[in-house]
Amino acid sequence: QEQVVESGGGLVQPGGSLKLSCTGSGFTLDYYDIGWFRQAPGKEREGVSCISAAEHNTFYETSVKGRFTISRDHAKNTVFLQMNNLRPEDTAVYYCAVARDVGGRYCAIVESEYDKWGRGTQVTVSS
């Protein structure tokens, strides 16, 4: 059974760091763009970042640019989201998603382009 599994969430103080991981269970992530999305309480889910299958090109939502870094390790079949200088407004459930089609040079954080989703991992930034 193919599953997308996130891990690495937790409680951190403002200014702290967390590293999220996304693993494909039962299938390889290699050929697909991977996106990270988040949903804060009372808000709609929004795109955070993505990494393309080919050339590992990346894209970041404006509020996380310069603080978050997305990367992928093919040997581990894992995509990471390193989150630094976290702010209270980063508090949300973070979801990893795998693109519907085989990836190209560039990715986009558009929900309709992703069809495999993890169950999410909670990130809470609070003092």
pLDDT in tens, 26-84: 999 999 999 999 999 999 999 999 999 988 999 999 999 999 999 999 999 999 999 99
- The percent of residues in the chain predicted with pLDDT above 70, rounded, is 100
Say if CB 78 and CB 23 are below 8 A apart: yes
Q: What is the DSSP-derived secondary structure letter of residue 89?
A: G
What count of Cα atoms within 13 Å lies in the side-chain half-sphere of residue 26?
A: 6
The per-residue pLDDT for 54 is 84
Dump strand ranges (E) for the chain: 3-7, 10-12, 18-25, 32-39, 46-51, 58-60, 68-73, 78-83, 92-102, 114-117, 121-125
Residue whose pair of structure tokens reads 């079949």 in the numeric block: 77
